Structure 1
Amino acid sequence: MRCNVQLIHSEVQAMNLQQLLVVIDPQQTPQPALDRAVWLARKTRAQLHLLLVEYNAALEAGHLFDTAMQSRGRAALIERGTAWLEELAAPLRAEGLEVHLDVRWGRPLHKLVLEKVAELAPDLVLKSTVHDSLLRRLLLTNSCWQLIRHCPIPLWLVHHAEWQGHSLCAALDPLHSADKPAALDHQLIRAASELSGQLGMRAHYLHSYSPLPRTLMFDAQLVANYDDYVARCAAQHREAFEQLIGHYPIATPDTHLIEGFAEEVLPRFVREQHVDLLLMGAIARGHLDTALIGHTAERILENLDCDLLVLKPEQA
């Protein structure tokens, strides 16, 4: 077992933040993704690559304008977008940060972002989520979900809540109940540990589990011995969690084994511990290539009040 774990560790790449790709939202004046990327760049001296995707359906073929006018209209939008990015970049360059700009035309947004990822091979993609003044939850657009499904590198989805940058948390699944490969838990632990060191953030490591409720027990003997079943379930998860964590120099106060449904435990833990960044693993499975962050992804994210960092298995 020890040899296998060491092999997994050797395959895991560090979160070496040298190039950050920032998706700029043309519909918003505040740019939380850029703010977060600048914070990261100041900590790590990473390069910033700002990507702005412009599009207007009226300038597509088959509409009211002829081809020449469509071309001029697109060029004008791209020129305007470039000027705006230059304004955003100027103060950052003045403080010594390296900033590169790219304005592209097209849709859907996630496709243009993935094309840029393939060309640049950045270490991290940052994108803002939807802001709703009445809700503090993490609201994901279709482009966010598409990037969760298909982005091959770590994806940082930026919440609009106030950023403190004090702590992060890796959500682990040592029994792989969501069909995640075992290496993904090690990848999450390594990423959390390395980001903690680079960014000066306290790292938490959490695993939640939930025994089958008594009302759903399908066997009379299990019903009669329900308390014993719950105890055995807790022991099984504790053993797996401790075995996983035991391969790393992690302090016990930073580890959390909590009984409860993940969609309730994770948002509550984030609020109570003032977590700024939650790390989760995503896998693609099934003929629809749907990415899952566990089987309760949407219910978790509906109530999440922090940034989200999504990691994919490295072999994916």
Structure 2
Amino acid sequence: MNTFNKLLVVVDPTEEEQKALLRAIELAKKSPVTLTLFLSIYDFSYEMTTMLSADERDAMKQAVIGDRTLWLEELIAQQDLKATPIDYKVVWHNRPYESIIKEVLFNKYDLVIKGTHAHDTLKSVIFTPTDWHLLRKCPVPVLLVKEHAWPEHGKILAAVSAGTDDSEHKNLNTQITQYANYMAKLLHSEPHLVNAYPPTPVNIAVEIPEFDPQEYNSSMRQHHTESLAKLASENDIVSSHCHVLEGMPEDVIPRLAQEMDAELIVIGTVGRQGISAALIGNTAEHVIDNVECDLLAVKPDDFECPIKI
């Protein structure tokens, strides 16, 4: 697990309050970091202006980029960050998520920070928002920021799948837990683990008369409880902070986060692509629309970014 030293902060010119920047400033005050304020802009009308030459169009684009760069500098000028190295990057690109990921790959950032809000479910299936592209494709952790405050002595909730014997999932569980511990130390908060296990399939009891749903449910819960306790012990998390709950992760995680008033959820995302991503999505994508707090999404160690420099 890497620590967060080099942060890419995605700025949204349509938002009055720059949530991502405010979070980055909080992190900068708690730990030595470098910040790069990043803005991806594009105006199709500049490409269609046939009355101008290619050089004149490029000059107009550069003027807009220069103006936006000055705006970024003004955002920072209002903050007390004299000890924090800060850079500014404005790019002309028609796919914001792609420009963000290429910047990550080229300059090797540790963390992308971006403000987010609820998405329309139907539109998300047809046209995936930038947030979802980042969850699926960004090779480094992504912190999606909402309005929830980061109070001292709050709660960090790490969502894991401890009941699996798959080595890839085990490694991802360890990563998620380590990042939760890391963020908990930075924010002086308590790390918690949550593990959802599937409910007893009703159809089995109908098809197999000797099937005992209560015994099955008890065995399933015990298996997940023991697995989570082992993960917690290996990562110095107290047993009272382990939560094993029946249900689907996309239902269990938001419900527990709300009950706990968690300030941050740490979750793994597998980067599903293609039609399965459009129809099924990832747990992280379902969770982010149903929580009020921030979400930190991390990838497996062997994740291969589909976007190249």
Q: Quickly name the TM-score band, shorter chain normalised.
A: 0.7 to 0.9
Tell me whether 1:39 sits opposite 2:26 in the alignment. Answer: yes
Q: Which runs of 4+ in 1 moved over 6 A?
A: 291-294
Alpha-carbon distance in 2 for matches of 1:42, 1:98 = 12
TM-fit CA distance, 1:109 = 0.2
Give 2:163's match in structure 1, choosing from 153, 166, 175: 175
Match of 1:230 in 2: 217
Alpha-carbon distance in 2 for matches of 1:147, 1:61 = 29
Alpha-carbon distance in 2 for matches of 1:62, 1:130 = 34
Match of 2:63 in 1: 76
**Corresponding residue SS for 1:284:** coil
**2:159 counterpart letter in structure 1:** A
Q: More displaced, 171-180 or 240-249?
A: 171-180
TM-fit CA distance, 1:88 = 1.2
Structure 1: stretches of 5+ with no match in the other structure: 1-12, 133-139
Match of 1:97 in 2: 84
Alpha-carbon distance in 2 for matches of 1:178, 1:158 = 31
Aligned length: 295
TM-fit CA distance, 1:64 = 5.6
Alpha-carbon distance in 1 for matches of 2:155, 2:48 = 49
Counterparts of 1:194-205 in structure 2 under 5 Å? 194-205=182-193
Match of 1:151 in 2: 138
**Corresponding residue SS for 2:229:** helix
Tell me whether 1:128 sits opposite 2:87 in the alignment. Answer: no
Q: Deviations over 1:180-204 (max 9, x none)?
A: 5220001111111122112212111
Structure 2: stretches of 5+ with no match in the other structure: 120-126, 304-309
Provide the TM-score with structure 1 as the length reference: 0.84
Q: More displaced, 297-306 or 77-86?
A: 297-306
Give 2:40's match in structure 1, choosing from 44, 53, 63: 53
Cα 1:227–1:36, aligned 2, differ >3 Å: closer, same or farther?
same
CA contact (8 A) 2:117 2:289 kept: no
Give 1:314's match in structure 2, choosing from 298, 301, 306: 301
TM-fit CA distance, 1:284 = 3.0
Cα 1:152–1:168, aligned 2, differ >3 Å: closer, same or farther?
same
Alpha-carbon distance in 1 for matches of 2:104, 2:204 = 46
CA contact (8 A) 1:26 1:54 kept: no
Cα 1:209–1:107, aligned 2, differ >3 Å: closer, same or farther?
same
